[in-house]
Structure 1
């Protein structure tokens, strides 16, 4: 007597279709992963603070003995460079966050994200938001040092700087993601990062006033995107300092285009538009990534 042999059935694998709900969940997961990575990596947290603290307290204190800022009324050099140091902190941290994409590619995690049933735009948005939050959180530590450089702990000032830091850090993270999406090794990414970021920081007016510059240097500061992130931070700080109008005019002149003073809201709008443009570039790069 022969028994019937039933062939094993085919197991169906159900893959959820793409939807806005799944994409929002993907944004949340990528963002949450960035926060966990930052919290668990204390070495990175402290190492990225070394350079800003050295600039603020070592270089700032040393140069303040030689430089008296402000006509007729001295302003501590550390107070002047404080907004630039905040910008330096969030920019460096944001680029490190973006660089983790290269690390994920080397260890195969990026491929797992790319084959997930979510849009690649959701992955990029989650990455940029996570990098922005991480960089802003790092900048909060520099905000806590405001009193040591004669900057008041004003709630309005702190909230303003937090918003400006987040906007700048998301924009820089998008820039970093657009670079990292095509990089194969960490060495290549950090080489490009140093070549791009350091000149942009030094040409943003972070360490010197934008007034009375030579023509060539003034032109470079005007076409430098980071200038429009640093200047609003400096304006926010100086608006809470008790200094004369002459000092403000000399140290916080703002950005001028052919004699027209660019408003702070316009500068923030420029940063926001650059962020959206770079986010689009990053998404396009990710869609071509294998």
Structure 2
């Protein structure tokens, strides 16, 4: 008895399919985050502790040197950056989780490009991290930062840009990793030096030459400094204090303008996204 072959038609890939894939991955990232309240709280605890405990302690030591401003006001943009960076990296790490438990395999056999999956993951991580940063924005008044509409919108845009770039960096790291322990170990090794060398917790003025070089080559410096510039533009502080706490970034005698700093972060995000897509396509 002859058996008839059953043909299976696989839909061809198209831009429409890819856009729907981006939407599905993005939506899944948001649902995963909203439903994990423990993760939401844990991501907020570290920057809040740094801002209100460490910031208060350090402020008591330097209050005589920076009259007219609370040291926690200086640390505030850095704590926004810390929140965004940690949340974005954890969102990127979910790729490793999906690989371990099989969901990633289901996405890979779908008739969509792997690039669409990566873009959806990066956008989802960026939106989730920005949403987490909004909670820190709500605390602005507690540390002497005004609730200016212009300032809040500027910080939101800069947060999203930094979140997208750091999520793309995390996706690039996670693309070919097999277990969560390896990813989180590498994440800590990469993120902690970047945070400490970004000027999030100490001013960039009057640093030793070796430390100045490390801050200048650190990509996260160019994400933190525009946020601090935006905050200080809405504060009334003495000129000498502003020069110490908000000196900006200098390349030798060249003062790097904020638009160029944001351009560096955006360009880095695009490059990391491209590398992440390439790594993802080569991954099994």
TM-score (norm 2): 0.97
User: Which residue does the alignment assign to 2:37?
Assistant: 42
Deviations 1:98-148 (A, max 9, x none): 000000000011111111110000000000000000000000000000000
* Helix, strand or coil at the partner of 1:256: strand
Aligned to 2:113: 119
Residue 46 to residue 24, structure 1, CA distance change in 2 (3 Å): same
Question: CA separation in 1, counterparts of 2:245 and 2:68?
Answer: 11
Q: Which whole-Å deviations, capped at 9, do the CAs of 1:211-266 have from their partners, x for residues lacking one? A: 10000000000000000000000000000111122221111010011111000000
Alpha-carbon distance in 2 for matches of 1:95, 1:137: 14
Aligned-pair CA distance for 1:70? 5.3
Aligned CA-pair RMSD = 1.2
Match of 2:275 in 1: 281
Give the distance between the partners of 1:93 and 1:124, measured in 2 at CA: 17
* Bigger-Rg structure (1/2): 1
SS in 1 for 2:62: coil
CA gap 1:135/1:69 in 2 versus in 1, 3 angstroms: farther
- Residue 249 (str. 1) matches residue 243 (str. 2): yes
1:166-199 CA-to-partner distances (Å, cap 9, x unmatched) read 0000000000000001111100000000000000
Tell me the distance in 2 between the aligned counterparts of 1:32 and 1:13.
Answer: 29
Distance 2:241 2:234 in 1: 13
SS in 2 for 1:261: strand
Q: Residue 19 of structure 2 aligns with which residue? A: 24
* 1:112 to 1:190, Cα distance in 2 relative to 1, 3 A: same
Cα offset for 1:65?
1.4
Cα contact 1:97–1:173 (8 A) shared by 2: yes
Query: In structure 2, what is the Cα distance between the partners aligned to 1:15 and 1:263?
Result: 51
- Determine helix, strand or coil for the equivalent of 1:65: helix
Secondary structure of 1:204 counterpart: coil
Pair 1:172-2:170 in alignment? no
- Which residue of structure 1 aligns with residue 80 of structure 2? 86
CA contact (8 A) 1:48 1:93 kept: yes
Aligned equivalent of 1:75, options 69, 72, 82: 69
Residue 17 (structure 2) pairs with residue 15 (structure 1): no
Query: Is the contact between residue 78 and residue 149 of structure 1 (CA under 8 Å) also seen in structure 2?
Result: yes
Q: Which runs of 4+ in 1 moved over 6 A?
A: none
Match of 2:266 in 1: 272
Shift of 1:8: 6.2
> Quick one: distance in 2 between partners of 1:155 and 1:8?
71
**Matched positions, count:** 284
Structure 1 portions without partners, runs of 5+: none
